[in-house]
Amino acid sequence: MPKKIISIDQGTTSSRAVVYSDKGELIGYEQMEFSQLFPDDGWVEHDPEEIWQSVVQVLKRSIQRFDLIPSDIASIGITNQRETVVIWDKKTGKPIYNAIVWQDRRTSDFCDSLKESESLIQQKTGLTVDPYFSASKVNWILNKVNGARKRADKGELLFGTIDSFLIWKLTEGRDHKTDVSNASRTMLYNIRTNCWDDELLSLFSIPSNLLPSVCDNSYDFGYTELVGGKVRIGGVAGDQQSALIGQCCFDIGDVKSTYGTGCFMMMNTGSEIINSSNKLLSTIAYRLDGETTYALEGSIFVAGSAIQWLRDGLEFFQQAAESEDIALQAKDSSRVIVIPALTGLGAPYWDAEARGAIFGLTRDTGIPEITKGVLESVAYQTKDLLEAMRNDKAFFNTIKIDGGMVANNWFSQELSNVLQVTVSRPKITETTSLGVAYLAGLHSGVFENLSSLKDNWAIDRKFTPDRTTTGYVEWKNAVKKVLTD
Ligand code: ADP
């Protein structure tokens, strides 16, 4: 029986193909970056053809590097940047416009005009009305690209999030499918009835013939022959949902928080959809054998990217990892509070126009104090999410962390102190690609069931609160000063 699983991790800045063993051990990966296009203020696009080529490259390279033949590969999984949209020609496969990326804000005014429908949309989709999600971007392409609406009405076009576009390309046009976790981020999918919603489709003027069929996360998504033989695509999930699975958060109340460019915290809420009164999102975590598990999610736009800004913009240090030693040099007396709203503030504020600020500067404020302030700000933002979850009656005592920032021990300990909860860091922090490897492996029989996967989760380090902190009150006061509404 074939034993290896390949996860395609199609992220916002790079594509990776990660090879896993049948025990969920990471064997290695190939990675390739692609262009970020900023054609106008607040616009972010990717070239779908370039994304596709990067995926083909890393897939082929990983097969070569690890000496695999198609019969060694039990299944392929796909995890992807969520919400980003592509519309392409059904016959030729050619995209009619660049992919509009989740970060893109061009549809802000349109979303503002939907305020009246906000509660209806939230009730059906679990999402707050924001350009972040796919629907308004699809509407924009259909309205702005010459002839697009006519062609859509004639049934000549297809829409998909990145997973769907990749499935279609990998299967050479045989399968137009997506999974529930990606569908639940489009703002067109009713998470209660588990189907595309006609009322939402009409609100966003999107014909239903554009849409992919929506499948369980562990499913037969079709096969590809582009790897030299037939290999099945057996698992698909959006990146954050995949990380939730990779962290084995299968029980109600299990929480994972990923600290990469941004921070995404997700709690498993089982079969319950929590109607957040605190601007958190309810979303589909996964659906297996037709049974849906939901999650409550808080998204922070700026986390590790603030460290990147200190490194590249302010040139405080050369490597992100140096931020740990530098923060340790900060004077105890420092009261510096940094609001890293470099691209607005996400949950629970959802204020795209808010901009960053530094408070509490004195003559002896230097690089260490500001660096510490930035690291603390990520912990305070997480505390905002924790408070929002508690106010929504979603409680937890421990979180599992992952993402590039959690290599920073000072940050991880401070996070535990600010939250006053236990913070666990697993041995494999590569949880995004691992989650979908599990899904693909479940489909091909490499893994038995969810509970058997829990044995693979191993702890690297546990951080328990070792002191109380006082900065959060100052943080809340400082945030009030940068909010625009
Ligand atoms: P993504 O998947 O969003 O590209 P990663 O999970 O690879 O992000 O994490 C990279 C981010 O983590 C970068 O923004 C970087 O600044 C930050 N980072 C990496 N190492 C550290 C560290 N030791 N301390 C603080 N931040 C770090």
In angstroms, the CA 212 to CA 174 distance is 12
Q: Give φ, ψ of 29 to 5 degrees.
A: -150, 165
Whether 353 contacts 484, CB under 8 Å: yes
Taking the C-alpha atoms of residue 211 and residue 85, their distance in angstroms, rounded to an integer, is 12
- Residue 351 confidence class, pLDDT cut points 50, 70, 90: confident
- pLDDT higher than threshold 70 for residue 2: no
- Indicate which residue's Cα is closest to atom 17 of ligand 1: 304
- What are 305-338's pLDDT values in tens digits? 899 999 999 999 999 999 999 999 999 999 999 9
Residues within 6 Å of ligand 1 by CB:
11, 13, 260-261, 304-305, 307-308, 320-321, 323-324, 403-405, 407-408, 411
Ligand 1 atom nearest the C-alpha of 402 is 6
Please identify, by atom number, the ligand 1 atom nearest to the C-alpha of residue 403.
6
CA 483 to chain CA centroid, Å, is 25
User: With pLDDT > 90 as the criterion, what percentage of the chain qualifies?
Assistant: 81
- Which token pair is 90? 């059904």
Task: Indicate the pLDDT class of residue 247, thresholds 50, 70 and 90.
Answer: very high
Does the pLDDT of residue 372 top 80, yes or no? yes
Ligand 1 nearest-atom number relative to CA 321: 23
Nearest CA to ligand 1 atom 18: 405
- The residue whose CA has the least distance to atom 15 of ligand 1 is 304
Among residues 268, 217, 256, the alpha carbon closest in space to that of 431 is found at: 256
Q: For the chain, percent helix, then strand, then coil, each to nearest 5? A: 35, 25, 40
Rounded Cα distance, 355 and 472, in Å: 19
User: Per-residue pLDDT tens for 5-15?
Assistant: 999 999 988 99
- DSSP of 101-133: PTT--TTHHHHHTTGGGHHHHHHHHS--S-TTS
Instruction: Quick: pLDDT tens for 41-54.
Output: 888 899 999 999 99
Other residues' Cβ atoms within 10 Å of the Cβ of residue 162? 33
Flag whether pLDDT at 209 surpasses 90: yes
Residue ID of nearest Cα to ligand 1 atom 2: 260
3-state secondary structure of 201: helix
Tens of pLDDT along 173-195?
999 999 999 999 999 999 999 99
Residue 210 contacts residue 157 (beta carbons within 8 Å): yes
Contact 205, 218 (CB under 8 A): no
Contact 33, 14 (CB under 8 A): yes
CA distance 235 to 376: 37
Which atom of ligand 1 is least distant from the CA of 308?
16
Q: Best of 84, 261, 299, 312 to mutate for ligand 1, by most ligand atoms within 8 A of CB?
A: 261
In this prediction, residue 259 carries a pLDDT of 95
Phi-psi map region of 344: left, alpha, beta (phi>0 left; psi -120 to 50 alpha): left
Dihedral sign from CA coordinates of 318, 319, 320, 324 = negative
Find the range with the poorest average confidence among 245-249, 253-257, 348-352, 407-411. Answer: 348-352
Residue 1 has pLDDT above 60, yes or no: no
Q: Residue 54 Cα, ligand 1 centroid: separation in angstroms?
A: 22
Q: What's the sign of the alpha-carbon dihedral 360, 382, 412, 472? A: positive
Q: Distance, CA 225 to ligand 1 centroid (Å)?
A: 35
Q: How far is CA 345 from the centre of its chain?
A: 16
- Confidence band for 89, pLDDT divided at 50, 70 and 90: very high
Mean pLDDT of all residues belonging to the chain: 94
C-alpha–C-alpha distance, residues 288 and 286, integer Å? 7
pLDDT at 429: 83
Q: Is the pLDDT assigned to residue 96 strictly greater than 80?
A: yes
Average pLDDT estimate for 65-74:
91
* Pair of tokens at residue 289: 């054998």
Q: What percent of the chain has pLDDT over 70?
A: 100
Three-state DSSP class for residue 35? coil
Q: Which atom of ligand 1 is nearest to the CA of 303?
A: 14
Q: pTM for this structure?
A: 0.92
Ligand 1 atom closest to the CA of 322, numbered from 1:
23
Q: Which two tokens stand for residue 390?
A: 């508690």
DSSP secondary structure, 417-449, as one string: HHHTSEEEEES---HHHHHHHHHHHHHHTSS--
Say how far apart CA 471 and CA 418 lie, in whole Å: 8
pLDDT for the residue numbered 154: 94
